[in-house]
Structure 1
Amino acid sequence: MRCQLQTLARIVSVVRTYAGGRRPSSKAITRTMSAKSTGLMFQLKVNPISGNSEWVVIEEEIDDVSPEPMLATTSYLDMLNDSPRNRAYRAAIDRTVSKHCHVLDIGSGTGLLSMMAARAMSGDDLSSSKGMITACESYIPMVKLMKKVLRANNMNHKIRVFNKRSDELEVGVDIASRADVLVSEILDSELLGEGLIPTLQHAHDKLLVENYKTVPYRATTYGQLVESTYLWKLHDLFNNEADVDDGIHLVPKGKESILRVKPQQFAMHCDALGEEIRLLSEPFKVFEFDFWKRPDSHGETQIHIKAANDGTVHAVISWWVLQLDEEGEIFYSTSPKWISSPLPNNGLPSLYCGIRDWCDHWKQCVWFTKGKGIAVSKDEDICMDASHTDISISYEFNAQSQRLEVDHHELSTQDLHITLSPERIAIYGDNHWRLSMLKAISYALKGQDSPLCVIADDSVFLSVAVVHVAKASHVISLFSGLGDKGSQYLRAVADENGYSMDRVQVVNTRKSQLTLNDTHQNKVDLLIAEPFYFGAEGMLPWHGLQFWSKRTMLDSMLSEDVCIMPCKGILKACAMSLPDLWRSRHALENIEGFDHTMVNTTLGACGLSSESPCFPFFIWQCGEIKKLSDTYTIMEFDFLKPLSSCQGKAKVDFPEAGVCHGFALWIDWVMGSTTDIVMSTGPDQRCWKQGVKLLAEPIKIIQPGICSTVIEAYFDSSSGELSVNNR
């Protein structure tokens, strides 16, 4: 009993920590914790209205008929629908696994690779196997789902499942002996981000015999230099802002890195950029990682690249090629479509999965060059240093020998940096967006002498813009996500933007509620947001409705003639043909001979009369896409009134033939009732993710102008969830 109480006390402590305002990283929006001694299981979720992270109890057993697809936000379904990947793994496992070996499967997921190994070990007669299979999976809901898959395929007695990280397994305690064969799929788009190197190191040292075999056998990363104005705008706010004449300096000279993207590779579907990318080199090899030996945590190499054209290098696009078998005949690549052969100068191997379907779990990666980029001439030799840690790969160009167009007045490492997403950097550097925001602010503050303005989100642009437009205004920035960093930023750029900090105040509402004591008993004249909430960039567009919640909490502090911006949000929808996205999230049946129908509800699959939840996607990166209808208004959110539940629907007509796989959904933010300024987050705007609702079954439009459907939505103000249905 004492042990149970101590466990619960630890859980309560963690709950309080997250409820107190610590936001998980974007990769950890959903996290699970088990209290084994109590039989309880908790999952960390972000409340879309409050923005707080909170632990919720989830059921001990996963129920197929549960309306809650608890693993829908993961990439498991997309990965399991990747047929070239599945075929390559099956072929390699069949070649590698022998009858009497011990196979260790790290990061087992649904157990697909373990079942492939069991079949390879015993052939058609599963009862004849003399070997052993150990499956290791740390994510509790997936472990429970895997056990259901194993039972359905009569494999539960052949595979021993451990709900542990592989570095928690002990030979002589958990498993009787070291394994002869390692099978794994712990790769992300960059290759190393899921902990491949430390996992292989520990397995080599503690879990595997000498001269063990592996599937995959080897991975090689490749790169290519490219020119792209779009990619440049995703990171170089300083030079983009220099072309904007509005008097606002988010990144003043000498402080170019105060707002920046994280120096890392960013996963992106580069094929979607099409003609906007100009290739400036041939592909080049970067690193090779052998799975069959202990990898190094750090590595460096210098690469000399011959420029194929004149131009400016804005980015390095990279991908990897997986050699799955020792013989070098089975390959899988994440290369972009313009690469005819992923193995330069070597030709296509016999079992190479060359034509890869669109999938979202593995993309290409983009590394931005500094500043305006590197000007190069055709046939020029470019020197690039590449290095890797145990979790990432980075690049650096030799500035002495290259014409690197970047100012060298950046802040030292001891100074403040706020890292933003590439899309947020592009928005802040967009001239049209900035002018529209300034115009809206000017309308709102017209005729006001010394207004009190509250910035109800994490927009550093609005905080600077309001004091720029209204010289006598007093600004309070809530900065619920940026917190103290936001306050330090406003102080750092005050001189260059002509304001003093006695006019600007930051109140972190995660720590305290804004009261009249903070405003010296003055009421709010302007309540404004973009809306943008730091750390929520990857979420659904209606998570911006946090603004409505904050407006409601501040209701008693608003003046009678307060201006609220945006004053309204409009939920819009458009019917879409999305064949690639549909295929990647379609309900599973048989994968390389193994039944997976029991995972569909839990993974949020569409098809087989089942609709999927709404997912956040950049529509323009979803492979083949086509609009099949006009844009429709589903419902409106009135921010002039306190938060409330609401619903709406629209009849959608199809004016042309095609196949409708679902709907793109987004919010248009109406910035003022007396202006025509609307900030749209629709599919034509690349810097915002849209919500995607895939249908239970695609609608085939054979007779345009006759076929129609109805889409309806309900917003629950208590939970902040927005449900969308089609009928």
Structure 2
Amino acid sequence: MSSSPIKNATIGKVFVQHYNPVSGQQEWEMQDEDYDYSKEVASSAYADMLHDDERNQLYYDAIRKAVATLRARGDSVRVLDIGTGTGLLSMMALQCGADHITACESFEPMACCAEKVLVANGFAEKVQVIHKRSTELVLGEDLPERANLLVAELFDTELIGEGAISTYEHARLHLLTEDALLVPSGALVYAQVVSSDLLASTNVPYYNRPPHSSHLNLPSWLAECPGSISVHDLQLSQLDPSHFTAVSEPLCMFKFDWSGRDIPLSTTDTVHVSFLSRLDKSLECHAVFMWWHLIMDQDQDIVLSCAPTWAERDSSLAWRDHWMQAVYHLPRPFIPLTAHSSSKPLILTAARDDYSMWFSLSHGTTDVRPPAPHCSCGQHLVNPRTRLAQLSDIHRLNFLSRVLDAALALPRTMAWLVLGDASNVLLIGRLASHANVQHVYVHETIRQNRRLLLDFLELNALKEHVTLLPEDLSKISVAAVKHKIGVVFAEPHFNSSLLPWHNVRLSSLLSECSHLLPPSYASVQPHSSKSSPSDQRPQELSSSETNGRNVSEDVPSNLTNPTDFESNSFVSRSVDLNFPTSKSLESHCAGNTVPSLPISTSAMLLPACVSIHVMAVSFDDLWKIRAPCRQRCGFDLTAFDEMVDLARTGTGEVVEPQPLWEYPCYSLHEPVMITKLYLREPICGVQRHFKGNVELDVDALRASDAARPDRIKRQARDKSADAQPELYFNGVAVWADWHFADQTISTGPLAHDHLTGRKVAWNATCHQGVHLLRHPRSLLSPATSGISKIFHYCLDLKDGNFSFKFQLEEERCNASSE
């Protein structure tokens, strides 16, 4: 996140404020004076839309048909292009014979880009670009006369979320003739009721409970929350059919006529559709899948479908990331259905306003408009869906429960410190009620999460066993912490973390509270004092002056004699934890600066270490969102490519968060660990450099699933974004593994071995880091035969910022060069 730049005239630079999720602080970064917001375009997936050849061709066909219809009427063709972007639709209209074109674009970098694209294609004199919103156009000033052909792309995953209804209605009233043609002319919205425990767990807090928590109760108001109105967009084609059961067929719920002639463009609408369900098993109805079709022409002959592949039973449907499908979560209580019972009809109700849709399900007949869902529990407002999914992920819960089992089995009583955002209250409750736990200190800074924890503790009579700490840990006095902290525990999770390694913010918090932790046995005789039970209600401790101390370095402590951990490949795996000591780590990072001493404490840290991993991959489709456009439908779009390239200059290798389970890819080698970082070692205020390389086994890739004929054939038939005729290196996946004793919770692949050339299955409860190559590299083409491919990776760690560099180097093999 960044704010507006502030100019420093003396040095010709601007300072741009951004948030460092590792340190948890706002920081200022110096940028060149010509900093502009075209970087927003470079970092967006805008190009994906331009790479959608099916979309482009259907628009072209519909525009050609509309121009021919107007010509047949004897009318001149006056086009208004709303939100022109690169000007592609305007150029299509001009090529089809339009007489006059006015294009409007309110985002200044794109408006300037459109003008450059028009110049490059020789259309600068024929298309007028107005740097305004369509609702700001003045007839007779910006627009010579009312247009009789409107072309626009105003849609998002929810169809109407970008204001399509109000924009079309304003155009109808103020900018178009009464008989104007529109491309597209309308839309249909489809919905399908489903049962899915997996999807329910992404919306219902604590849908699944961890082991040993049956004696704990959750506040009733948590179950009464209807959820959030914000759309849950997904690539439904990648959702495994075993993870949902269809309760209904796809039902047409809303019909839109963008001209407003046949169907008025009302600001609100409610539709009720009755259906019968025939099921082989009893279940509950959890959610509604939604997608839409664009009707491109007046005769409804040209249709663009955004349906998932399994709904149309057509695996050749175009891939697109700009218009995905959506999940709408039904409010509780969920309606239960009995197997083989279909006598009673169900009513699916769809309601909408100008920008949003929502759904409800009921038995029998109804004419009631359901209220829009608004979160009442606060959990949907402050916590991302991935976090809600983690709180209910049974594999993760079982893993964390085993971690707690091992620590609680140690033959001594101690206090626990829990760090992180949205920590699982059921795990905290288990600790607070365990005989081996003297007291639990919790650091939770988000108001809505604190409310849940406080009510939970009150409900379960645990208020005397838990203390909530103030936000600034460094200002808590040692005297205020009455119990000796023996374990520091985190999952870890912080809502500010966009990428998996951002959760090393845990290291910063450990530094802030180091004065509260007992000193290392190797440096100071352990503090011994009798701890009295806390009789205060869980609330913030009053802040006072910091009572810190200098401590010496200590080898990280860990669990002793931990219980056996049952491996689960979904989130955990056995690893070699023969980590280097601080001395060997410094040797590995020779020449780097490590100004701060490690935290020296006898307290057990869970987790103790994080490792960063990397893997070069070949994506089926995701690479298109960053690939150059070059030419689309015969039009030169290199000006757009140049704007993106310029905006990316000096930004280094961009690694962005993506839910990779939604984007199929194949591994080009086995995963590689870049480095391991101790959480008791300083990370902020540290400068380190790590690098390595791996040679790709081209022969193994040639014989693998990644190069199988049907995948190559599909890519060759797909002409979007310069279709790849064979296996390409087009992306890099990066993730973090968190090490708890001899087990690991991974944010990466579900399996870590034997991945070369295979499709990768990813942890679906978190985002991974992705670097997409601007220019994909061929691996198997005859031109590169006999040339070894070496993938180089580099990580620079400075002041909590992780900067990556990746490169594919080609070296001619000796045998081939003879």
TM-score tier after normalising by the smaller chain length: 0.7 to 0.9
**Deviation of 1:291 (Å):** 0.8
**Deviation of 1:604 (Å):** 6.7
1:296 aligns with 2:249: no
1:697 to 766, 772, 776: 776
Taking the aligned partners of 1:61 and 1:399, their CA distance within structure 2 comes to: 61
Taking the aligned partners of 2:701 and 2:388, their CA distance within structure 1 comes to: 37
**Deviation of 1:691 (Å):** 1.6
Aligned to 1:544: 503
1:477 aligns with 2:443: yes
Q: Indicate the SS of the match to 1:493.
A: helix
**Deviation digits for residues 221-260 of structure 1 (CA, Å, limit 9, x no counterpart):** 012233334323333445522x8443575844563246x8
Instruction: Compare 54-63 and 112-121 and name the one that shifted more.
Output: 54-63
Within 5 A, what are the aligned runs for 1:530-569? Answer: 530-534=491-495, 536=497, 539-555=498-514, 558-560=517-519, 561=601, 562-569=603-610
Within 5 A, what are the aligned runs for 1:182-331? Answer: 182-241=150-209, 244-247=211-214, 249=216, 251-253=218-220, 255-257=222-224, 261-276=227-242, 277-293=244-260, 295-311=265-281, 312=283, 313-331=285-303
Taking the aligned partners of 1:301 and 1:34, their CA distance within structure 2 comes to: 50
- The AA in structure 1 aligned to 2:223 is E
**Deviation digits for residues 670-727 of structure 1 (CA, Å, limit 9, x no counterpart):** 13xxx11311001321111112223443342589999552231323333624323123
1:717 aligns with 2:798: yes
* Residue identity (%): 25
Taking the aligned partners of 1:622 and 1:374, their CA distance within structure 2 comes to: 33
Taking the aligned partners of 1:412 and 1:149, their CA distance within structure 2 comes to: 44
Within 5 A, what are the aligned runs for 1:360-509? Answer: 360-369=321-330, 370=332, 374-375=336-337, 377=340, 379-380=342-343, 381-398=345-362, 417-419=379-381, 420-441=383-404, 443=406, 446=410, 449=413, 451=415, 453-461=417-425, 464=429, 466-469=431-434, 471-479=437-445, 483-500=446-463, 503-509=466-472
Aligned to 1:19: none
Tell me if structure 1 keeps the 8 A contact 2:45–2:626.
Answer: no
- The AA in structure 2 aligned to 1:697 is P
Q: Indicate the SS of the match to 1:240.
A: coil
Taking the aligned partners of 1:666 and 1:620, their CA distance within structure 2 comes to: 13
Decide whether aligned partners of structure 1 residues 493 and 113 sit closer, same or farther in structure 2, where only a CA change above 3 A counts: same
Instruction: Compare 420-429 and 289-298 and name the one that shifted more.
Output: 420-429
1:336 to 308, 320, 325: 308
Tell me if structure 2 keeps the 8 A contact 1:619–1:690.
Answer: yes
1:111 to 82, 87, 104: 87
Q: Indicate the SS of the match to 2:310.
A: coil
**Deviation digits for residues 103-134 of structure 1 (CA, Å, limit 9, x no counterpart):** 33222222222222333345xxxxxx4x2313
Decide whether aligned partners of structure 1 residues 518 and 187 sit closer, same or farther in structure 2, where only a CA change above 3 A counts: farther
Tell me if structure 1 keeps the 8 A contact 2:19–2:25.
Answer: yes
**Deviation of 1:150 (Å):** 2.8
Aligned to 2:589: none
Within 5 A, what are the aligned runs for 1:510-589? Answer: 514-517=474-477, 520=480, 526-534=487-495, 536=497, 539-555=498-514, 558-560=517-519, 561=601, 562-589=603-630
**Deviation digits for residues 352-393 of structure 1 (CA, Å, limit 9, x no counterpart):** xx9432221111111233455541546442211111111111
Decide whether aligned partners of structure 1 residues 413 and 48 sit closer, same or farther in structure 2, where only a CA change above 3 A counts: closer
1:595 to 622, 625, 636: 636
Taking the aligned partners of 1:57 and 1:179, their CA distance within structure 2 comes to: 46
Tell me if structure 2 keeps the 8 A contact 1:32–1:140.
Answer: no
1:83 to 28, 31, 53: 53
Structure 2 residues not aligned, in runs of 5+: 367-372, 520-600, 708-726, 751-762, 809-818
Q: Indicate the SS of the match to 1:572.
A: strand
Within 5 A, what are the aligned runs for 1:622-661? Answer: 622-623=663-664, 625-643=665-683, 644-646=686-688, 647-654=690-697, 655-657=700-702, 658=707, 659=727, 660-661=729-730
Structure 1 residues not aligned, in runs of 5+: 1-28, 123-128, 343-353, 403-410
Aligned to 2:592: none
Taking the aligned partners of 2:251 and 2:3, their CA distance within structure 1 comes to: 38
Decide whether aligned partners of structure 1 residues 417 and 612 sit closer, same or farther in structure 2, where only a CA change above 3 A counts: closer
Taking the aligned partners of 1:476 and 1:449, their CA distance within structure 2 comes to: 18
Decide whether aligned partners of structure 1 residues 416 and 136 sit closer, same or farther in structure 2, where only a CA change above 3 A counts: closer
**Deviation of 1:535 (Å):** 5.5
**Deviation of 1:651 (Å):** 1.5
Taking the aligned partners of 1:414 and 1:316, their CA distance within structure 2 comes to: 21
Decide whether aligned partners of structure 1 residues 413 and 613 sit closer, same or farther in structure 2, where only a CA change above 3 A counts: closer
Q: Indicate the SS of the match to 1:424.
A: helix
- The AA in structure 2 aligned to 1:651 is V
RMSD of aligned alpha carbons: 4.0
Instruction: Compare 85-94 and 708-717 and name the one that shifted more.
Output: 708-717
**Deviation of 1:191 (Å):** 0.8
Within 5 A, what are the aligned runs for 1:29-40? Answer: none
Query: What's the TM-score once normalised by structure 1's chain length?
Result: 0.79
Taking the aligned partners of 2:149 and 2:418, their CA distance within structure 1 comes to: 60
Q: Indicate the SS of the match to 1:451.
A: strand
Taking the aligned partners of 2:627 and 2:173, their CA distance within structure 1 comes to: 40
Query: What's the TM-score once normalised by structure 2's chain length?
Result: 0.70
Taking the aligned partners of 1:299 and 1:396, their CA distance within structure 2 comes to: 14
Decide whether aligned partners of structure 1 residues 639 and 701 sit closer, same or farther in structure 2, where only a CA change above 3 A counts: farther
Taking the aligned partners of 2:17 and 2:164, their CA distance within structure 1 comes to: 25
